[in-house]
Structure 1
Amino acid sequence: MAASRWTLPVGLLAGTLLDLALADPRRGHPVAAFGQVAAALERRVWADSRRSGAVYGGALVSAAGLTGVVLARTARTPLPAIAMTAAGTWAVLGGTSLAREGARMRALLAADDLAGARTRLSHLCGRDAAGLGVAELSRATVESIAENTSDAVVAPLFWGAVAGVPGLLAYRAINTLDAMIGHHNERYERFGWAVAKLDDLVNWVPARLTGFLAAALAGSVDGSPRAAVTAMIRDGGRHPSPNAGQCEAAFAGALGVRLGGVNRYGDRVEIRGVLGDGREPTVQDIGRAVRLSRLVGVAAAILFAMARKVAT
């Protein structure tokens, strides 16, 4: 019985180490498979209706969570339970892939390959990169790293600590669906409404934990913890997203840069508030953001594993 109290914390830490070592596979990733199933189902059930979107999202999230319950129940002894949790954690984390995308953007910009960087930005976010210069591409990259540190690392670890393998899989289902249908456009404004609201709800706590961890670790990137907390509290609410703004503002303060501004998404232009009061981000700040993101992810894994152990 004593050993079983260690299975979830050890599994979360082991899965984090797997992500650090292996990142995401290029083929056969379980999240990609879920996305394919979700896309196929959407083609059958889509309707310009909030109710239809809620039923669609609820069915898929429930299926992911129940899959986690079944998997967790098949692992009744400590070692299989640790292995199952580690595998689930690795499957839903995206910290190393995020860091690698940031490094690729930094390399392209350092080589003055603006065309390549504009194309590559689509791997991090959905904004229109046409015509963006070095400063705007650097800003977009830092903002995406900050936001995805929560979405791809801290939030799944948080829900894994709260609810084990079912929490890991259900969270990743919600976040994946939000990326697919949680958009403000003609097709998804109503159909994706419920999924977008659910994603906001499950990311509320993790986003703020991400911000405070970024502030605590600001010194590791020659930044100021105080400036990070100040920017997060003062500027986090200026962002259209109730969660992304917290992460981006904290990173802005920690890095001593200024984020936010005007973003274009196809035909839609989004005017965001200014986050932080530093200088414009540079190519070098991308590397600092990547380093801060990695440290926040490791700290979150240790913190949540310890909290889970204490709670049990």
Structure 2
Amino acid sequence: MRADRVFAYGATLGFLGDLLAGDPRRGHPVAAFGRAAGALERRLWRDDRASGAVFTALCAGGAVGGAALAQRAVRSCAALSVALTAAATWSVLGGESLAREARLIGAALEAGDLAAARARLPHLCGRDPQALDAAGIARAVVESVAENTSDAVVGALVWGAAGGVPGLVGFRAVNTLDAMVGHRSPRFLRFGWAAARLDDVAGWPGARLTAGLAALAGPDPRGALRVWRRDAALHPSPNAGPVEAAFAGALRLRLGGTLSYAGRTEHRPVLGADLPPPTAADIARAVRLSRRVSALALATAATARLTAAAIRRARRGGSAVSGGHQPKGGPK
């Protein structure tokens, strides 16, 4: 079976596996990678960029290399190749866990249980829940749904289409390293620089695809494009900016503003300043948009891989014809 079909079938199966089963409670491969990376970080940590670059290269390179060896080992068997791609896709996607956590927080807010919503928020994002009221939690959830649609689903599918299993695994490894050491804390300001910059590069195509699909699939495509063009560059993150701005416009909501991480307050620009702020009811709308974007991203990634392979085959066929030997002499 051709590699393009292996990816299309395997990615679809893995996507459905995530949709139906979500993440396992124990033994998740990404969690195992995180533990190994954490142990290596404690051995290699120095307060400089060079040490962080070595750490990032070892972790990301090891993940990609291991995935490449696994893909090579099964490439002669179509069924095993599809199974490996499906397993890798399921392990790196987090769409169902994202939707589940968002819905639980939304349900708590709609029931008026602010304490339960605050207790649940750390499962979704790293903001200080005690500093947030109901409106602040609703905004945090919508913003997290938007950003993690790109990080936990679309970006992985984009790199899977480009690089197969190594692309899937490599993207999740880089994204995990950024979450571990890429933040601007005193310990990781320099050590995590390489991981943060690599995550910016790896996330660039998925973020733009996410924003475009949000505009296409949302209830207000023109509004999504308008807020995206006007406000995305205001965001400090080159990738979260387009995604959150497109979601803000598509859902007709105002996002951004002051937030608190680990006792540190940040004042971020407002996205969609002329729109109303999110409420608990808007969390379900954000989840539905995230699901539509994720499904369209799967279709886009599989189609792109199949189309690129078809173009390559057509070019090889054309080259063979044009380079072939014509029979000598004229017609007899």
If the TM-score is normalised by the length of the shorter chain, which range does it land in?
Answer: over 0.9
The answer to whether the Cα contact below 8 Å between 1:4 and 1:77 also exists between their aligned partners in 2 is: no
1:307 pairs with 2:308: no
Alignment equivalent of 2:257, drawn from 256, 261, 266: 261
Alignment partners' CA distance in 2, 1:216 and 1:109? 29
Residue type of the alignment partner of 2:101: E
The answer to whether the Cα contact below 8 Å between 2:138 and 2:278 also exists between their aligned partners in 1 is: yes
Q: Which has the larger radius of gyration?
A: 2
CA shift, 1:35, in A, is 0.4
Aligned residues: 307
Provide the residue aligned with 1:59 in structure 2.
58
Q: Name the SS for the 1:260 alignment partner.
A: strand
TM-score, with normalisation over the residues of structure 1? 0.97
Alignment partners' CA distance in 2, 1:175 and 1:36? 14
Alignment partners' CA distance in 1, 2:249 and 2:143? 12
Deviations 1:265-306 (A, max 9, x none): 123211111111310101110000000001110110011101
Q: Name the SS for the 2:129 alignment partner.
A: coil
Q: Report runs of 4+ in structure 1 exceeding 3 Å deviation.
A: none
Alignment equivalent of 1:226, drawn from 222, 226, 234: 222
Alignment partners' CA distance in 1, 2:100 and 2:15? 16
Q: Name the SS for the 1:274 alignment partner.
A: strand
Deviations 1:102-131 (A, max 9, x none): 101111101111111112111111111213
Deviations 1:63-95 (A, max 9, x none): 000011011011122211111101100000000
Alignment partners' CA distance in 1, 2:152 and 2:4? 26
- Identity of aligned pairs, percent? 54
1:134 pairs with 2:134: yes
Provide the residue aligned with 1:275 in structure 2.
271
Alignment equivalent of 1:251, drawn from 247, 255, 270: 247
Deviations 1:211-237 (A, max 9, x none): 01001001xxxx210000111111111
CA shift, 1:185, in A, is 1.1
Q: Name the SS for the 2:255 alignment partner.
A: coil
CA shift, 1:242, in A, is 0.8
Provide the residue aligned with 2:323 in structure 1.
none
Q: Name the SS for the 2:128 alignment partner.
A: coil
Trace 1:1-312 onto structure 2 (pairs within 5 A): 3-75=2-74, 76-218=76-218, 223-276=219-272, 277-312=274-309
Alignment partners' CA distance in 1, 2:109 and 2:212? 29
Q: Name the SS for the 1:164 alignment partner.
A: helix
Alignment partners' CA distance in 2, 1:216 and 1:139? 22
Alignment partners' CA distance in 1, 2:59 and 2:206? 22
Alignment partners' CA distance in 2, 1:142 and 1:53? 32
The answer to whether the Cα contact below 8 Å between 2:128 and 2:263 also exists between their aligned partners in 1 is: no
